[in-house]
Structure 1
Amino acid sequence: MKASIYDVARHCGLSVVTVSRVLNNTGNVREKNRRKVLDAIEALDYRPHAAAQSLARGHTRIIGLIMTALHDRFFEMVVNEINRTLARYGYFLALSVSNDVRSRESHDLMHEDRVDGLILLSLPEEDRYVAQLKKRSIPFVLIDNQRRDHMVPSVLTDNYYGGYEAAKHLLSLGHTSIAHVCGPEYFLSTRERKRGFLDALREARLSPFAVVQGDYEIGFGYATAKSWIRSGKLPTAVFAGDDYIAVGIVNALAEEGMRVPEAMSVIGYDDQYIASRLRPYLTTVRQPAESIGQSSVELLLKWIGAGSTASVTVEWKPELVIRESTAALKA
């Protein structure tokens, strides 16, 4: 039998009014009680009647999400958590994959009568989206935004810290010839990872072997490592801007019979699924995908419920995950 709002209230030991406030994101509810309600909703697999709620409140109960890629496992984990969290609040997710604010998919979502709010996930054309959404008074949240000065709710990873920790790890292993292979400069995450990396080397009074900029692709990492091999001059360690670049580097070395980490230590970023499946298992910097997805939904629903919002930035610390692809420099 399908659970009702009364079943949820009984399960968590709170009033129906409190459960309703959590579901509709209205009124003040203590964090402890809000968690009780959400846990009860999940335990009972309760699903609010979306159509009835929409008619009562004049809302669609739909949240749009615009992103540029589906092949990235980290983004996939973030989207899955967004979808799961929205479901707990009785919302549905509408997804658009686009890199152009003028595309039909983006245009369709950016209408206040079609979605209650939007989440923008790491969009290169971020400024255009922000301008359009402000103009149309549609609540929105940025994830992995490219600028920090939009004065809107956003959710970020402390990529400076991630780059710094990656470099410090390699330095602690005795490496002094360290390269950084990174993605496009227009991503704030690229710039911050690089800045953290360079600051760690600067503190050690070292210059990088090289900083090579390109795409977050396996092919780019592969081509970069191949060029070093052809030149006969290789670093002893590499901090790759993401796991895909790292995989490309490892593949290029393997083709030449060069083993990781014996010939070169390699660190990736994101802790994609492949990082714990590739041999050797990849040392990487893990981003908290679940926390990012959940906090973005909560920021957005708070704006929708309150009717206005402050420019809150939530920043999560990444975690260095040490596996087999890094080792101490042999004397």
Structure 2
Amino acid sequence: MNIHDVAKKSGLSVVTVSRVLNNSPSVREVNRQKVLKAIEELNYQPNSAARSLVRGKTGVIGMSITNFNDSFYDRVIRVVNRKLAEQGYFLALSIAENEVEDNFLFQRDRVDGIILLSPLRENEYVVELKRKNIPFVLLDNQFQHEDVPSVVVDNYQGGYEATRHLIDLGHTQIAHIGGPSVFLSVEERKRGYVQALNEAGLTPFGMEFCGFTVSSGYEVAKRWIREDKLPTAIFSGDDFIALGVVQALREEGILVPHDISVVGFDDQQFVGEFFPRLTTVRQPEAQMGSIGVDLLLQLINGEVMPAAVTKLAPQFLVRESTAPVRQT
């Protein structure tokens, strides 16, 4: 099947068919409709342009992310890509580095919808996508929007369970090192930590906030060692921070978990391969990606649904970096 077959079927010239495929304004509407009808009847799909004309869609879903340096993002993207492929869609990625208005995906003639994963400039994105009338959903977002469906993890529960685990092991001197306080997830993990301590009649041994990096956790732990302010257990708000803590302690001859227990958050792919294997909180990225795709396709198909936050429960994984408090 080729363009000549479409021309023959429509009763028009190859030149006219080509102009229709290229969306030329010089084609009369009656002829345009004849060509589109022939394309549909012949199931002629030479490229994305033809498909878009026939279906009124691009067949592409855009996803805006902040970075690739995180296996949590990687797992979400893989699930989204696989599920979209099953529905006949292609996934286009954009790393959000420039101005919101410059995002190449934010055009209706380029995508059928957008998935925003952990957006840093969330409100600006929401305003821009609403202005352009592009269907979109939010994953791991910071705020609740009245008319935007979103999927988040219950970070409060994750922080609570991590701290409760340390309390159950007999620890009473439990410190917390969180990520940048601009993130709602960071605040929620801290809130869970504080609540678990309050219920046990304990107070935070110490709290610090830093970047989601190994070096940040390392520097905080080194400072606590110099100041002789080490707790018996540390809840780290991120696996990278936790690994930095473990490294700093190891250099000083302080053993994990014999001397100090350490808990992380996220279950990065490599944390189960280091010794000691890290006790951590795993985010349900497969559920997040799958539900996000379902919500977006419903929007694209014009289904009316209330804007709501889908909150997913995390999974607490006990490994080798935590142990009962050492009796002195």
- Indicate the TM-score class for this superposition, using the shorter chain for normalisation: 0.7 to 0.9
- Gaps of at least 5 residues in structure 1 are 1-47
TM (norm. structure 1) is: 0.82
Q: Which amino acid aligns with 1:137?
A: N
How many corresponding residue pairs? 282
CA distance in 2, matches of 1:295, 1:257: 46
TM (norm. structure 2) is: 0.83
Equivalent residues in 2 for 1:286-297, closer than 5 Å: 286-297=282-293
How far did residue 314 of structure 1 move?
1.5
Q: Which amino acid aligns with 2:194?
A: L
- Gaps of at least 5 residues in structure 2 are 1-44
CA distance in 2, matches of 1:101, 1:307: 31
Q: Which secondary structure does the structure 2 equivalent of 1:244 belong to?
A: helix
TM-superposition CA deviations, 1:285-329 (whole Å, max 9, x none): 011111111111111001001265421221110010000000000
Equivalent residues in 2 for 1:13-162, closer than 5 Å: 51=48, 53-102=51-100, 104=102, 106=103, 108-162=104-158
% same residue: 49
Q: Which amino acid aligns with 2:93?
A: L
CA distance in 2, matches of 1:102, 1:203: 43
Q: RMSD of the alignment, in Å?
A: 1.6
Q: Which secondary structure does the structure 1 equivalent of 2:270 belong to?
A: helix
Q: Is the 8 A contact 2:151 2:288 kept in 1?
A: yes
In the alignment, what sits opposite 1:272?
268
In the alignment, what sits opposite 1:17?
none
Q: Is the 8 A contact 2:100 2:128 kept in 1?
A: no
In the alignment, what sits opposite 1:214?
210
In the alignment, what sits opposite 2:176?
180
TM-superposition CA deviations, 1:225-250 (whole Å, max 9, x none): 00011111201101101100000000
How far did residue 55 of structure 1 move?
3.0
Structure with bigger gyration radius: 2
In the alignment, what sits opposite 1:203?
199
Q: 1:50 to 1:251 in 2, by over 3 A?
A: farther
Q: 1:185 to 1:208 in 2, by over 3 A?
A: same
Q: 1:200 to 1:329 in 2, by over 3 A?
A: same
CA distance in 2, matches of 1:56, 1:141: 26
Runs of 4+ in 1 over 4 A off after TM superposition: none
CA distance in 1, matches of 2:279, 2:243: 11
CA distance in 1, matches of 2:300, 2:247: 47
How far did residue 100 of structure 1 move?
4.0
In the alignment, what sits opposite 1:166?
162
